[in-house]
Amino acid sequence: MAIHRPLLIGALGLCAVLAAPAAAMAAPGPSEAGGASHHSDSLRSLAANIGLRIGTAVNTDQLASNEAYRDITAAEFSTVTAENVMKWQLVEPTQGNYDWSAADRLVAFAEANHQLVRGHTLVWHNQLPDWLNAAAAQMSPDQLRAILHKHITDEVTHFKGKIWQWDVVNEAFNDDGTLRNSIWLQKLGPGYIADAFRWAHEADPKAKLFYNDYNIEFTGPKSNAVYSLVKDLQAQGVPIDGVGFQTHLDTQYPLPDLQNNLQRFADLGLEVAETEVDVRTSLPVTPTAQSAQVAAYSQTLQACMAVRQCISYTVWGFSDADSWVPGVFRGEGAADIYDENLQPKPQYFALKQDLALGKGAPHRTGQGVGRN
């Protein structure tokens, strides 16, 4: 990560953030197109100026209990993603007994604040319910297919009309470009991916359907494999609308050539999105590492802004207080744009500056719910 970007931030920017409207949750204003209810200097207002949606993954426990967290979520972002509460393990903890309550509260919050919702995620190898993990190996392919079909149909139907983009299939590939040896591949074969998109489309024909993965920001075996997959799905007439690039970055690795990679997928006639951006580093953070983090946030946003079909840029949580990183990557953290006290970091100001400077960015497609 050789790039060092000058930080044009000052006290003015900080004051503007701290003054962001706390009332955004209680008193929703006009639609995002107008953006009038939000501070004109918020991420969401600046993004709206260029037709881009800016989002965050939401920790619904924080949303329920922490007013400052709630205020920032409402004031700064125009889309939300459930960090966990739409995953199979959470929505169907025992077979046949759905619990949509936490996800419903997030959707209601989004509606009250004129935010769109990214649905995450329908088919994954992680965070499956215990009852399914325990039983899957003994099931026949037909039984497992019926369970997957029902899961997709029930979840997409429950949220019908309320989800802008669904991450239909998440992380189906290994880094070498082979398909991941999940229960889905083992029992159902590679066709489970096309089936999942078809079933989701049947349940909500207007939702945008995405394939989502990590380490596909780079060109290489994995992103090439996803590229072949989506081309193949398109050739078969499978209803796929876009590809989500998770974009979990680390300052110890080179920055991906994201813009060109996004563009080649867009050139297939797909929409693209950065869906889970964060930039972790070894703790404690050095000034050099933080400059690299700032540069990485800036470059990922600029890549999206430069590609007309890049319709949303979403961070995987906005605050270091509740980031998934320290629990998964030993010794690393500080991956988000706000610190542990919910104060904006230089990363936040870099995003703002890029959005503000991006007024001439190409017009985006696909800003409403449903296909355009």
Interface residue with ligand XIL, options 32, 155, 276, 336 (CB under 6 A):
276
Residues 7-46 that bind ligand XIL (CB under 6 A): none
Q: Rule CB under 6 A: is residue 153 a binding residue for ligand XIL? A: no
The Cβ of residue 174 has, within 10 Å, a number of other Cβ atoms equal to 14
Q: Rule CB under 6 A: is residue 336 a binding residue for ligand XIL? A: no
Q: SS3 string of the chain?
A: CCCCCCCCCCHHHHHHHHCCCHHHCCCCCCCCCCCCCCCCCCHHHHHHHCCCEEEEEECHHHHHHCHHHHHHHHHHCCEEEECCCCCHHHHCCECCECCCHHHHHHHHHHHHCCCEEEEEEEECCCCCCHHHHHHHCCCCHHHHHHHHHHHHHHHHHHCCCCCCEEEEEECCECCCCCECCCHHHHHHCCCHHHHHHHHHHHHCCCCEEEEEECCCCCCCHHHHHHHHHHHHHHHCCCCCCEEEECCEEECCCCCCCHHHHHHHHHCCCCEEEEEEEEEEEECCCCHHHHHHHHHHHHHHHHHHHHCCCEEEEEECCCEHHHCCHHHHCCCEECCCCECCCCCECHHHHHHHHHHHHCCCCCCCCCCCCCCC
Q: Does the active-site annotation cover 171?
A: yes
Backbone angles phi, psi at 66, to 5 degrees: -125, 110
Q: Which residue lies nearer to ligand XIL by CB, 83 or 271?
A: 83
Q: Rule CB under 6 A: is residue 170 a binding residue for ligand XIL? A: yes
| Contact (CB, 8 A) for 294 and 226 | no
Minimum CB separation of residue 11 from ligand XIL in Å reads 33
Q: Which residue lies nearer to ligand XIL by CB, 35 or 333?
A: 333
Q: Which residue lies nearer to ligand XIL by CB, 291 or 300?
A: 300
Interface residue with ligand XIL, options 45, 246, 309, 353 (CB under 6 A):
246
Minimum CB separation of residue 140 from ligand XIL in Å reads 29
Q: Rule CB under 6 A: is residue 56 a binding residue for ligand XIL? A: no
Q: Rule CB under 6 A: is residue 353 a binding residue for ligand XIL? A: no
Q: Rule CB under 6 A: is residue 84 a binding residue for ligand XIL? A: yes
Chain position whose Cβ is nearest to ligand XIL = 324
Minimum CB separation of residue 19 from ligand XIL in Å reads 30
Residues 300-329 that bind ligand XIL (CB under 6 A): 324
Looking at 32, 171, 271, 332, which residue is catalytic?
A: 171
Minimum CB separation of residue 170 from ligand XIL in Å reads 5
Q: Which residue lies nearer to ligand XIL by CB, 20 or 172?
A: 172
Minimum CB separation of residue 96 from ligand XIL in Å reads 24
Size of site (CB under 6 A) for ligand XIL? 6
Minimum CB separation of residue 261 from ligand XIL in Å reads 18
Q: Which residue lies nearer to ligand XIL by CB, 214 or 349?
A: 214
Q: Rule CB under 6 A: is residue 73 a binding residue for ligand XIL? A: no
Considering only CA atoms, which of 225, 124, 221, 118 is closest in space to residue 169? 124
Q: Which residue lies nearer to ligand XIL by CB, 17 or 196?
A: 196
Q: Which residues are catalytic?
A: 171, 276
Residues that bind ligand XIL (CB under 6 A): 83-84, 170, 246, 276, 324
